[in-house]
Amino acid sequence: MPLIIMCGHPCSGKTRRAQELKDYFTEKTGRKVYTVGDEGLGVDRNSVYADSQSEKNLRGALRSEVERKLNKDDIVILDSLNYIKGYRYELFCLVKHAQTPHCLVFCLTSADLSSEWNKEREVDCQYTQEILDALILRFEAPDSRNRWDSPLFTIQKEDTLPFEAISDAIFKRKAPPPNQSTQSQPLSSTNFLYELDKVTQDILLAVLDSQKTSVPGDLVVIPGATEKIELTRSLNMAELRKLRRQFISYTKMHPTENIGQIANMFVQYLNKSMH
């Protein structure tokens, strides 16, 4: 069943809007509605968002919880910042794999309003001003031109949620179609599966090898690909293997007609996932 992704600055009203959506769909559809979010995992926001590895672990835990909750009957609402476009792309790949629609609800607020609402919270629930400012600075606003950010519903402070439009988006719309560069074909093609496995493994080894002499910001030339990998940070083997498994799982569902494009597709996927 559908996934509704909340997005916005810290203290932008996401949780309140998520509860409004939960109440609406529970009453109107009779379906179970699950909310997955930071609060449900009991995290200390200030300590988590002050450390990049802890924040990465949180995103992974949220994604895993969403994946567990997605099924043919229920609605899942992901109530978190979801401020990194690469992470939203990962969620998009997740719903494509689950063959279910999704939509994005963007709670649009100014930095000043978010700061004001933060100060109105109980002290234990507040972000420090330093963390709040840093998260707002890093925020990557959704863009409806990106397929992973569409359908996009932008909600401001005074707006009423467009419940019917959101309902249509997740119930009357088909699951995301294959990319234009892909076309479904039987997976009996031994050559395709062999190339998918070999090319992605070779790229993993190339990335690991390049990191020995590269620094963040370098562009890495990948044999067999016209695209280059931008090393924004270091990636270990465990993370690379996980990204490879995710890419292979998605690509098996939507095989490319042009096997020669596998390398470029994987490089693009890695670039988005490293943000």
**Would you give per-residue pLDDT tens digits along the chain (275 residues)?**
799 999 999 999 999 999 999 999 999 998 999 999 988 787 899 999 999 889 999 999 999 999 999 888 899 999 999 999 989 998 998 888 888 999 999 999 999 999 999 999 999 899 999 999 999 999 999 998 888 999 999 999 999 999 999 999 999 887 765 444 333 444 445 567 778 888 899 899 888 888 888 888 888 888 788 888 888 888 888 888 889 888 888 887 777 667 778 888 888 888 888 76
**For residue 34, how many other CB atoms are within 10 A of its CB?**
19
- What is the H or E stretch that residue 8 is in? strand 3-8
CB-neighbour burial class of residue 47 (10 A; exposed 0-12, middle 13-18, buried 19+): exposed
Same domain (yes/no): 64, 98: yes
Same domain (yes/no): 123, 240: no
| 139-170 per-residue burial string, b: 16 or more CB within 10 A, e: under 16 | beebeeeeebbbbbbebeeeeeeeeeebbebb
Same domain (yes/no): 259, 238: yes
Q: Which of 127, 152, 182 is the last residue of a domain?
A: 182
Show Cβ contacts of residue 258 under 8 Å, excluding neighbours closer than 6 positions.
181
Query: Is beta strand 3-8 parallel, antiparallel or unpaired with respect to 102-107?
Result: parallel
Same domain (yes/no): 241, 162: no
Say how many CA atoms lie within 13 Å of 44 toward its Cβ. 7
Domain count, the chain: 2
Same domain (yes/no): 10, 43: yes
pLDDT at 251: 80
pLDDT at 137: 95
Same domain (yes/no): 49, 28: yes
Same domain (yes/no): 134, 200: no
Q: Which of 182, 208, 236 is the last residue of a domain?
A: 182
pLDDT at 84: 93
Sign of the torsion formed by the C-alpha atoms of 70, 75, 80 and 86: positive
Same domain (yes/no): 36, 152: yes
pTM given for the model = 0.66
Same domain (yes/no): 49, 160: yes
Residue 125 structural domain: 3-182
pLDDT at 194: 77
Show Cβ contacts of residue 273 under 8 Å, excluding neighbours closer than 6 positions.
86, 89, 90, 243
Same domain (yes/no): 147, 218: no
Same domain (yes/no): 164, 124: yes
Same domain (yes/no): 52, 114: yes
What tokens appear for 156 in the block?
């401001």
